[in-house]
Structure 1
Amino acid sequence: MIYTVTLNPSIDYIVHVDDLKLGDLNRMTADFKLPGGKGINVSRILKRIQAESTALGFIGGFTGNFISDWLKKENIQTNFTTVEEDTRINIKLKSEKETEINGLGPTISNEEMLELKQILGNVQSGDIVVLSGSTPASLRQGFYEELVQIIKEKEADFIIDTTGADLLNALPQAPLLVKPNNHELAELFDVEFQSVEDILPFGERLLQDGAKHAIISMAGDGALLFTSDGIYQSNVLKRPLKNSVGAGDSMIAGFVGTFVKNNDPVEAFKWGIACGSATAFSDDLATADLINELISEVVVKKIR
Structure 2
Amino acid sequence: MALIYTVTFNPSLDYIIRVDDFRIGEVNRTSYEKILPGGKGINVSIVLKNLGHESTALGFAAGFTGREIERRLAEYGVKPDFISLEEGFSRINVKMKSKEESEINGQGPKITEAAIAALFEKLDAMTGDDILVISGSIPNTLPSDMYERILARYQEKKIPVVVDATRDLLTKVLKFHPFLIKPNNHELGEIFGVELRTREEVIPYAKKLQEMGARNVLISMAGEGAVFISEKGDELRSEAPKGKVVNSVGAGDSMVAGFLAGYLEASGDYRTAFRMGLSAGSSSAFSEELATRKEVEELLKTF
Give the TM-score normalised by the residue count of structure 2. Answer: 0.95
**Cα shift readout 1:27-52 (whole Å, capped 9, x = no counterpart):** 11010100000000000000011111
Question: Which amino acid counterpart does residue 4 of structure 1 have in structure 2?
Answer: T
Question: Match of 1:63?
Answer: 65
Aligned residues: 298
| Identical positions, percent | 43
Partner of 2:39: 37
Q: Deviation of residue 194 (structure 1)? A: 5.3
Give the Cα separation in 2 of the matches to 1:48 and 1:191.
36
Alignment-mate amino acid for residue 230 of structure 1: D
1:294 aligns with 2:296: no
Question: What is the deviation of 1:225?
Answer: 0.6
Match in the other structure for 2:279: 274
1:4-33 deviations in Å (ceiling 9; x for gaps): 000011010001111111111111101010
TM-score (norm 1): 0.95
Q: Once the 2 structures are TM-superposed, how far is the Cα of residue 154 of structure 1 from its aligned partner?
A: 2.8
* Partner of residue 270 from structure 2, selected from 250, 262, 265: 265
1:264 maps to a residue whose letter is D
Q: Deviations over 1:251-281 (max 9, x none)?
A: 0000012212310111001110111001001
Contact 1:186 1:192 in 2 (8 A): yes
C-alpha deviation, 1:179, in angstroms: 0.7
The list of structure 1 runs, each at least 4 consecutive aligned residues, that deviate by more than 6 angstroms after superposition, is: none
**Amino acid in structure 1 at the alignment position of 2:246:** K
Does 1:243 find its partner at 2:247? yes
Change (3 A) 1:97 1:39: same
Aligned to 1:110: 113
Mark the runs of 5 or more structure 2 residues left unpaired by the alignment. Answer: none
> What does residue 208 of structure 1 align with?
211
* Corresponding residue for residue 54 of structure 2: 52
Aligned to 1:143: 146
Q: Counterpart in 2 of 1:95?
A: 98
CA contact (8 A) 1:11 1:36 kept: yes
Residues 68-77 or 167-176, more deviating: 68-77
| 1:237–1:277 Cα contact (<8 Å) kept | yes
Does structure 2 retain, via aligned residues, the 8 Å contact 1:217–1:223? yes
Q: 1:151, CA displacement in angstroms?
A: 2.5
Please state whether the residue corresponding to 1:80 is helix, strand or coil: strand
Aligned to 2:28: 26
- Helix, strand or coil: the match of 2:155? helix
Name which of 148, 152, 155 aligns with 1:152.
155
Does structure 2 retain, via aligned residues, the 8 Å contact 1:121–1:154? no
> For residues 196 and 272 of structure 1, what CA distance do their matches in structure 2 show?
16
Kept in 1, the 8 Å contact 2:8–2:42? The answer is: yes
Report the residue type matching 1:253 in the other structure: A
Give me the whole-angstrom Cα distance separating, in 2, the residues matched to 1:114 and 1:218.
36
| Structure 1 residues 160-188: Cα deviation after superposition (integer angstroms, max 9, x where no partner) | 00011111111111111111111100111
Shift of 1:77: 1.8
Change (3 A) 1:75 1:197: closer
Contact 1:171 1:209 in 2 (8 A): yes
The question of whether the paired residues in 2 share the 8 Å contact of 1:253 and 1:275 is answered with: yes
For residues 83 and 153 of structure 1, the distance between their equivalents in structure 2, rounded to whole angstroms, comes to 30
SS in 2 for 1:152: coil
1:174 and 1:253 map into 2 onto residues whose CA distance is 20
Question: Is the Cα contact below 8 Å between 2:4 and 2:130 reproduced in 1?
Answer: yes
What CA deviation, in whole Å up to 9, does each residue of 1:200-224 have, x standing for no partner?
A: 2111111111111111112222110
Return the letter of the residue paired with 2:183: P
Name whichever of 69-78 and 171-180 sits farther off.
69-78
Partners in 1 of 2:244 and 2:224 — Cα distance?
16
Is 2:199–2:226's contact at 8 Å kept on the other side of the alignment?
A: no
Higher deviation after alignment, 143-152 or 131-140:
143-152
C-alpha deviation, 1:80, in angstroms: 1.1
Is 1:176–1:211's contact at 8 Å kept on the other side of the alignment? yes
- Matching of residue 232 in structure 1 with residue 236 in structure 2: yes
Aligned-pair distance for 1:75?
A: 2.1
Q: Which amino acid aligns with 2:298?
A: E
Q: State the superposition RMSD in angstroms.
A: 1.2
Structure 1 letter corresponding to 2:206: G
Distance (Å, rounded) in 2 between the aligned partners of 1:79 and 1:150: 20
- 1:79 match: secondary structure: strand
Alpha-carbon distance in structure 1 between the residues aligned to 2:199 and 2:31: 40
CA distance in 2 between counterparts of 1:187 and 1:28 reads: 35
